[in-house]
Chain A
Amino acid sequence: MIHASFKGRIGGFVLDAEFEALGHGVTALFGPSGCGKTTVLRCMAGLTRLPDGQLTVGAKTWQAGRKFTPIHRRAVGYVFQEASLFAHLSVRDNLCYGLKRAKGPLRVGEEEVVSLLGIAPLFERPTATLSGGERQRVAIGRALLSQPELLLMDEPLSALDRLSREEILPYLERLHARLEMPVILVSHDMTEVERLADRLVLMERGRVRAEGPLAPMLADPDLPLIHRPDLASVLEGEVVAVDDAYGLSQIAVPGGVIVVPGRLGPAGARRRMRIPAADVSLGRNPPSDTTILNALPATILSAEPEPNGSPLITVRLKLGRETGGALLLARISRKSWDSLGFAPGEPIVARLKATSLSHPSTSMETAPDWQEDDDVRD
């Protein structure tokens, strides 16, 4: 368990943020540029010192009252926005800079990191000739090899073009699946968050607006996230069957089984799906004559009209008829909602196109930032 609390003033900016992160998995600090998320991350690393701060990571207290552990005595890995490789060192010396200085038991070995991040082909090349994506991979490996108890990532993909981003995301997802250490990921890009985060801390103007597990946060009617234009639900499930002939996989999620394109086996593997709300339609009866693959029984939880007289309405559903079903979001027209006379509590059938589903290993969705600006630093 990680508990962080930082209060103070930096220049004209007032920070008053307190949140918790799990001892494993990825916690995303999400918010618009200038909301203070990078400052929080720097405080956690010890790069910025606010006198009124508190940070405990597991059994260790790094900051409390007057106690302040200097950066180099904290077992943190920090991935900066720009890879910041040491220009005077080779790729291998960059990679092992932290490893040589790490204390305590070896949690991650050089070989494992090299294979996880595909770094081996880069060893032969001068550091200055690596592409942006390659540099960032080395930087991530370098941070991992310093044997951190906590990995902090400050928008590690934002300085990269879209292709490099797509090149790195699968590596991050593999890290996420394979490594135990907790990760704090600062991001203002929902695509990153949807693909990587388990827990979300939503920040606004120096404060924490809300925090909690990812899926319910994304569908929380009281948070502004529900109104973002590229709204999607994130569902996690287990592969139950793979249809090799048609190239489809069945993934069991709480309350139903979803058919997804791609051979995502082996059975039992955990997969995460992103289902765009605009690709979910609602009906009362199972479809009889349609190309839609997924028609899932679901129950309407509530409906939130989009603001400013928008023609759209966002419907929150839970899969299945029982309690405990996964949350699913649909965005349909208000006209359809009214003319079909749906109401909360009503059992319906949610239809989703298999091709509209994306999952980590094949997704190539665009990454529109729902926040208006795409500033490099906040």
Chain B
Amino acid sequence: MDWASLYDPAMLQTLALTLKLAGVTTVVLLIIGTPLAWWLAQPGGLSKDVVGTVVSLPIVLPPTVLGFYLLIAMGPNSPLTALLGQKLSFTFAGLVVGSVVYSLPFVVNPIRNSFTAMGPRPMEVAATLRASPWDAFRTVALPLALPGISTGAILGFAHTVGEFGVVLMIGGAIPGRTKVLSVTIFDYVETLEWNKAHLLAGLMLVLSFAVILAMMLIERRLGARGGARP
């Protein structure tokens, strides 16, 4: 087979864009998701159940449904657009916002579980040892939740890489701006460029395998440090 003929500059472009999108999304998710997970892990009333449910919605909603609402929220007539002074749909920033919403449960839930498993005791101990709430969060809660945080980061990254429906709804497929890997594969199949589709799909397969394997190895490594023993 003539591998050179498979080379397509669009391929590198789409790969770079996909990794950039997943990277930025993961960072945003960790910044938003960690405090959110902490809040959700504290005992509380109905408001936490409601927010927890909203966070988990993207797991069950068809991506097209989510994408549809996001498209409306980012469209020319939405309050969000009025607030920002420009519309987010069909932009990279819009893709990040969509991906954050779409991958939120995959980051928040593992971190939340880590915080819950930790229980209130370590924070109580830290407080009796003169640590202010922020100090205790930083030096006790975060390190103890590290397995959950790394799982969340990896899942969030991988889930964003594999995103298709939401991206298509809010981003279209503008090369270099919003055309990500999964959309490119879809295009190759549509235009009967099977070999190129093979190459990219295989790449995705290897990447996903590596991600899950890395996740398990990291978890075992962190787990060996002891978790939250009494």
Chain A interface (Cβ < 8 Å from any Cβ of B): 45-47, 70-73, 76-78, 80, 82-88, 97-98, 101-103, 126-128, 142-143, 146, 159
The answer to whether A101 touches B130, judged by C-beta atoms less than 8 angstroms apart, is: yes
Nearest 9 pairs of A and B residues by beta carbon: A98-B129, A87-B226, A101-B130, A82-B230, A78-B128, A128-B226, A71-B127, A88-B143, A84-B125
Q: Which residues of A contact B135 (CB under 8 A)?
A: 72, 101
Known: A97-B139, A102-B130, A127-B226. 20 other contacts (CB 8 A): A47-B124, A71-B128, A72-B128, A72-B129, A72-B136, A80-B125, A86-B125, A86-B140, A87-B225, A87-B227, A88-B146, A97-B126, A97-B129, A97-B131, A98-B128, A101-B129, A101-B131, A128-B225, A143-B129, A159-B230
Given A84-B122, A84-B230, A87-B144, decide whether A98 and B127 contact each other with a Cβ distance below 8 A. Answer: no
Residue of B nearest to A93 (CB): B139
Given A80-B121, A87-B144, A88-B143, decide whether A146 and B226 contact each other with a Cβ distance below 8 A. Answer: no
Q: Which residues of B contact A87 (CB under 8 A)?
A: 144, 225-229
Given A86-B122, A87-B144, A88-B143, decide whether A47 and B128 contact each other with a Cβ distance below 8 A. Answer: yes
Q: Shortest beta-carbon distance, A104 to chain B, in Å?
A: 10
Given A47-B124, A101-B135, decide whether A88 and B144 contact each other with a Cβ distance below 8 A. Answer: yes
Residue of B nearest to A102 (CB): B130
Q: Which residues of B contact A86 (CB under 8 A)?
A: 122, 125-126, 140, 144
Q: Shortest beta-carbon distance, A264 to chain B, in Å?
A: 36
Assess whether B42 is interfacial by the CB under 8 Å rule: no
**Complex: A80 Cα to B126 Cα, angstroms:** 12
A-B contact pairs, 9 of them (CB 8 A): A71-B124, A80-B121, A84-B122, A86-B122, A86-B140, A101-B131, A126-B226, A142-B129, A143-B128
The answer to whether B230 touches A83, judged by C-beta atoms less than 8 angstroms apart, is: yes
**Complex: A80 Cα to B124 Cα, angstroms:** 10
Q: Which residues of B contact A70 (CB under 8 A)?
A: 127
Residue of B nearest to A99 (CB): B129
Assess whether B132 is interfacial by the CB under 8 Å rule: yes
**Complex: A76 Cα to B229 Cα, angstroms:** 23
**Complex: A83 Cα to B122 Cα, angstroms:** 10
**Complex: A87 Cα to B228 Cα, angstroms:** 6
Residue of A nearest to B132 (CB): A72
Q: Shortest beta-carbon distance, B177 to chain A, in Å?
A: 42
Q: Chain B interface secondary structure, helix, strand, loop or mixed?
A: helix
Q: Which residues of B contact A82 (CB under 8 A)?
A: 121, 230
Residue of A nearest to B119 (CB): A84
Q: Shortest beta-carbon distance, A300 to chain B, in Å?
A: 48
Q: Shortest beta-carbon distance, A102 to chain B, in Å?
A: 6
Q: Shortest beta-carbon distance, A89 to chain B, in Å?
A: 8
The answer to whether B128 touches A76, judged by C-beta atoms less than 8 angstroms apart, is: yes
**Complex: A77 Cα to B124 Cα, angstroms:** 12
The answer to whether A88 touches B128, judged by C-beta atoms less than 8 angstroms apart, is: no
**Complex: A71 Cα to B139 Cα, angstroms:** 17
Per-position 1/0 for B72-107, Cβ under 8 A of A? 000000000000000000000000000000000000
Residue of A nearest to B144 (CB): A88
Residue of B nearest to A152 (CB): B128
**Complex: A106 Cα to B185 Cα, angstroms:** 67
The answer to whether A98 touches B143, judged by C-beta atoms less than 8 angstroms apart, is: no
Q: Which residues of A contact B131 (CB under 8 A)?
A: 72, 97, 101
The answer to whether A98 touches B144, judged by C-beta atoms less than 8 angstroms apart, is: no
**Complex: A128 Cα to B230 Cα, angstroms:** 10
Q: Shortest beta-carbon distance, B191 to chain A, in Å?
A: 52
Q: Shortest beta-carbon distance, B153 to chain A, in Å?
A: 18
Q: Which residues of A contact B129 (CB under 8 A)?
A: 72, 97-98, 101, 142-143, 146
**Complex: A78 Cα to B226 Cα, angstroms:** 23
Q: Shortest beta-carbon distance, B12 to chain A, in Å?
A: 41
Residue of B nearest to A146 (CB): B129
Q: Which residues of B contact A103 (CB under 8 A)?
A: 130
The answer to whether B130 touches A72, judged by C-beta atoms less than 8 angstroms apart, is: yes
Given A87-B144, A88-B143, A101-B135, decide whether A72 and B226 contact each other with a Cβ distance below 8 A. Answer: no
Q: Shortest beta-carbon distance, A43 to chain B, in Å?
A: 13
The answer to whether B128 touches A45, judged by C-beta atoms less than 8 angstroms apart, is: yes
Q: Shortest beta-carbon distance, A78 to chain B, in Å?
A: 4
**Complex: A339 Cα to B146 Cα, angstroms:** 74
Which among A45, A72, A77 has the highest number of chain B CB atoms within 10 Å? Answer: A72
Q: Shortest beta-carbon distance, A93 to chain B, in Å?
A: 10
Residue of A nearest to B120 (CB): A47
Q: Which residues of A contact B139 (CB under 8 A)?
A: 97
Q: Shortest beta-carbon distance, A193 to chain B, in Å?
A: 23
Residue of A nearest to B124 (CB): A47
**Complex: A15 Cα to B112 Cα, angstroms:** 34
